[in-house]
């Protein structure tokens, strides 16, 4: 099959080297390059459509719209000229379907925005070209979601009927409705198993063969997490979960790498140290020195890439929950419900960190189990491309 892969939203597709230097959005966001590598190995022809940083996987096509000079003041005629040129180049590839890895959608902006957000410019450069191509070529649009805040909103499909998703593959199985300006939408999503695509084909995917994983001193405990405590797009309760884990924690010094933890300054104990915002390359360096650390999903029943990210760098992820709100790996696909590396409160977190620090064979055994269990799985996305009419979506 000939597949157009498009990353829409505010971030662009990055190769491994470029991602290490990227803004603090995590080491694994979107999994675009891993998805492309996986599809190529499955025998498909793949074209990445849109902006990118770094090199494409060997064998992939690439079409990058020449939209550097477009912004919120550009005329419709100027924008259409650039988009049409990109679509003409894409037609030479001849895509049959579009896998659209969704990013945050712009909802409003204004000229001279004093906060410098520039959402209209962002949409024109990073979302508009892909949606225009989907509409122009009448491609089935399969949306891939790696963040619960990135589901398509109405303006993406209000006038372009082919941009209504044929299927939505998410890191959760969900069924919900939302009210837009013009109608009520019902959204059904299918669990994609896409949280581990990012690692496919990396040199160190299957074990400690890469120079990054040479034996090092595991002298850190680390939580890689943004706070998101005041994000109105996420359900309330995230701060309460982290507070339950950390406020009474009295174990070895635990570092936190991420943004928005200033809101927790009043309750973080002295045994927890906030490092501030840390870029992906630095996160990797820290994880290579990390013994273990707690991970909490961004939203309830939303599986994220942190489990594999920790394990591939030799660190042990301590998963929050055994069925309560924000239980990580809620299906228990990777770690059993009663496993010792699941933690629900500060006392359990302390016990698990001490065990990981003092029992190296136990820690390594768990890391190896998780590394094997979280291997990238493309079965759902491949089936969906062939049978997208069988999948629920927007209605």
Domain boundaries, the chain: 2-196+377-390, 204-373
Q: Report the top-level CATH class of 204-373.
A: alpha beta
Whether pLDDT at 332 is above 70: yes
Separation of alpha carbons 322 and 339, rounded Å: 9
Q: What is the mean pLDDT of residues 311-334?
A: 95
pLDDT tens digit string along 28-85?
Answer: 445 889 999 999 999 999 999 988 888 888 999 999 999 888 877 888 899 999 999 9
Summarised one tens digit per residue, pLDDT across range 285-304 is: 899 899 999 999 999 999 98
> What is the pLDDT, as a whole number, of residue 25?
42
Q: What pLDDT, on the 0 to 100 scale, is given for residue 219?
A: 86
Using 50, 70 and 90 to split pLDDT, how confident is the model at 151? confident
**For 181-188, what is the mean pLDDT?**
82
Question: Is residue 116's pLDDT more than 70?
Answer: no
Average confidence (pLDDT) over 298-314? 91
Which of 126-130, 260-264, 277-281: highest mean pLDDT?
Answer: 260-264
Asked if the domains 2-196+377-390 and 204-373 are classified in one and the same CATH topology, the answer is: yes
What is d(CA 260, CA 267) in angstroms, rounded to the nearest whole number?
Answer: 14
* Mean pLDDT on 327-345: 96
Report the sign of the C-alpha dihedral through residues 351, 307, 239, 171, in that order: negative
Mean pLDDT of the residues in the chain: 86
What pLDDT does 20 receive?
A: 60
- Parallel/antiparallel/unpaired status of strands 52-53 and 13-14: parallel
Residue 149, pLDDT above cutoff 90 = no
What is the pLDDT at residue 108? 53
Contact indicator for 78, 68 with CB cutoff of 8 Å: no
Q: List, for residues 188-237, the tens digit of each pLDDT value.
A: 999 999 999 988 987 655 444 444 445 567 888 999 999 988 888 888 89
pLDDT at position 96: 96
Q: What CATH number was assigned to the domain covering residues 2-196+377-390?
A: 3.40.50.2000
Entry pTM: 0.89
Q: Would you state the pLDDT for residue 206?
A: 47
**Where is pLDDT greater, at 160 or 320?**
320
Confidence of residue 126 (pLDDT cuts 50, 70, 90): confident
- Alpha helices in the chain, H assignment, sequence order: 16-20, 32-41, 76-91, 119-126, 128-137, 238-246, 280-287, 306-312, 346-358, 360-373, 379-386
Q: 114 vs 322, which has greater pLDDT?
A: 322
d(CA 22, CA 11) in angstroms, rounded, equals 10
Measured at the alpha carbon of residue 92, what is the angle toward residues 39 and 56, in degrees to the nearest 5?
A: 40
Q: What pLDDT, on the 0 to 100 scale, is given for residue 354?
A: 94
The confidence score (pLDDT) of residue 76 equals 87
- Overall size of the chain counted in residues: 395
The confidence score (pLDDT) of residue 10 equals 63
Give the pLDDT score at 209: 40
Q: What are the DSSP E strand ranges found in the chain?
A: 2-7, 13-14, 45-49, 52-53, 61-63, 97-102, 141-145, 167-170, 175-179, 184-188, 190-191, 220-224, 254-257, 272-276, 290-295, 316-320, 342-343
Q: Between 197 and 113, where is the model more confident?
A: 197
């Amino acid at each position: 099959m000939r597949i157009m892969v498009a990353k829409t939203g505010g971030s662009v597709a990055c190769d491994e080297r470029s991602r290490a230097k990227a803004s603090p959005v995590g080491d694994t966001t979107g999994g675009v390059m891993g998805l492309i590598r996986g599809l190529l190995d499955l025998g498909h022809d793949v074209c990445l459509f849109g902006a990118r940083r770094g090199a494409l996987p060997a064998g992939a096509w690439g079409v990058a719209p020449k939209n550097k000079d477009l912004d919120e003041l550009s005329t419709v005629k100027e924008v259409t000229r650039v988009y049409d040129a990109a679509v003409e180049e894409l037609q030479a590839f001849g895509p049959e379907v579009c896998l659209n890895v969704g990013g945050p959608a712009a909802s409003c902006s204004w000229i001279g925005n004093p906060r410098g957000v520039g959402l209209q410019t962002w949409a024109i450069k990073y979302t508009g070209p892909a949606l225009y191509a989907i509409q122009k070529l009448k491609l089935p649009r399969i949306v891939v979601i790696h963040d619960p805040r990135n589901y398509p909103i109405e303006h993406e499909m209000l006038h372009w009927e082919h941009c209504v998703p044929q299927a939505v593959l998410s890191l959760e199985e969900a069924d919900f409705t939302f009210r837009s300006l013009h109608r009520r939408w019902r959204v059904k999503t299918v669990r994609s198993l896409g949280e581990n695509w990012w690692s496919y084909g990396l040199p160190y995917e299957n074990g400690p063969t890469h120079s990054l994983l040479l034996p090092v001193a595991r002298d850190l405990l680390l939580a890689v997490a943004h706070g998101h405590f005041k994000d109105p797009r996420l359900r309330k309760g995230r701060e309460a979960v982290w507070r339950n884990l950390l406020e009474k924690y009295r174990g070895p010094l635990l570092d936190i790498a991420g943004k928005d933890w200033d809101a927790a300054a009043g309750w973080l104990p002295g045994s927890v140290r906030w490092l501030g915002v840390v870029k992906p390359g630095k996160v990797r360096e820290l994880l290579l020195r990390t013994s273990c650390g707690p991970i909490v999903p961004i939203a309830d029943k939303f599986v994220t890439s942190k489990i594999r990210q920790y394990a591939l760098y030799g660190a042990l992820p301590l998963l929050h929950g055994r069925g309560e709100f924000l239980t990580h790996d809620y299906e228990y696909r990777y770690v059993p419900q009663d496993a010792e590396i699941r933690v629900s409160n500060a006392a359990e977190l302390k016990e698990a960190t001490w065990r990981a620090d003092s029992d190296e064979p136990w820690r390594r055994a768990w890391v190896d189990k998780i590394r094997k269990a979280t291997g990238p799985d493309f079965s759902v996305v491949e089936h969906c491309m062939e049978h997208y009419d069988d999948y629920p979506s927007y209605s």
